[in-house]
Amino acid sequence: MKATFWGVRGSIPVSGKKYVKYGGSTLCTEVRLDSGELLILDAGTGIRPLGVKLMKENRVLHMHLLLSHGHMDHVQGFPFFAPAYIHKNDITIYGCPQVPGRTVADFLSRQMGDVYFPVEFDGLPARREYVNHCAICGNSDSIKIGKARIFSIGNNHPGGSISYKIVEKKKSFIYMTDNELGSAAPDATSMETFAEFCKHADILVHDAQYTPREYATRTKGWGHSTYEQCARLAAMAQVKTLVLFHHDPEHDDRAVDAMLDKTRILLKKLGSRAHCVSAREGMSLTL
Ligand SMILES: [Zn+2]
Ligand SMILES: [Zn+2]
């Protein structure tokens, strides 16, 4: 299994020379299974250059798009995803609709047509199928894509969000973003429950949007975590590699570097031997 990051910025895209190291596109990660299937995690603006690359492969594409939730930074690139405009291609879209009576298609369709975009979602040529899959809405069974099993868990996030654990050949890759590990909400999922889900993962990609100071003074309850909380989760779950993700638009390259350094020190203090990196555009990790 190989994961490649196409967009790692949370909330809104950024550009400029202060952001060239980690990149400014919003969330999109490509996962290629060893059995050949193409998985795409979220459809932020990073999905546009991924689409350009896929078009150059010049073949019929069978794609699996796994959405964490419908917030704009996770769906806003989809109208510009060129493979969706080719009728021979097909896309299976997975996610939790969160609201009874809705489908996961709503995450993508509501930003298209009407006064928002010149093309209607229903008018896209590529064939689409939907899998409303989620721990929250009662369909908590794992799903199978190729030879991989995909598990999910609900996150602590306003409006809901879900994480995915992709397991193939005993290797596990966890995509856990838009998750507030320290949430004080009465129905919040605990750090221990997330640690159980992440136990011994080879790679854990986690939302590390804030510094502990930002969190303590301003951003509690906004649905995101600090790098310190990520380090505690990684240590508790004994994961092998922790990837800091969903970088704040206010954090330039220097700020992200500083957060990474502090996370590595914390992991050592906590007795974890986890390798730690910050996600950046173009970075690939092979499991
Ligand atoms: Zn987000
Ligand atoms: Zn969100």
25-56: pLDDT as tens digits: 999 999 999 999 999 999 999 999 999 999 99
Confidence class for position 102, pLDDT limits 50, 70, 90: confident
- Both tokens of 205, joined, read 């990609």
pLDDT at residue 136, as a whole number? 55
Ligand closest to 71 (CA) is 2
Q: Which amino acid is at 8?
A: V
Closest among 99, 158, 180 to 134, alpha carbons compared: 99
pLDDT per position as a tens digit, 61-86: 999 999 999 999 999 999 999 999 99
Ligand closest to 209 (CA) is 1
Largest interatomic CA distance in the chain: 54
Residue 252 CA, ligand 2 centroid: distance in Å: 20
CA distance 262 to 269: 11
Q: Could you tell me the pTM of the whole model?
A: 0.97
pLDDT per position as a tens digit, 158-209: 999 999 999 999 999 999 999 999 999 999 999 999 999 999 999 999 999 9
User: What's the mean pLDDT in 248-276?
Assistant: 98
CATH homologous superfamily for 2-286? Ribonuclease Z/Hydroxyacylglutathione hydrolase-like (3.60.15.10)
- Residue written as tokens 């299937």? 37
Residue 59 CA, ligand 1 centroid: distance in Å: 31
pLDDT at residue 139 above 80? no
User: What are the extents of the domains in the chain?
Assistant: 2-286
Nearby residues for ligand 1 (ion, Cβ within 5 Å) = 10, 73, 178
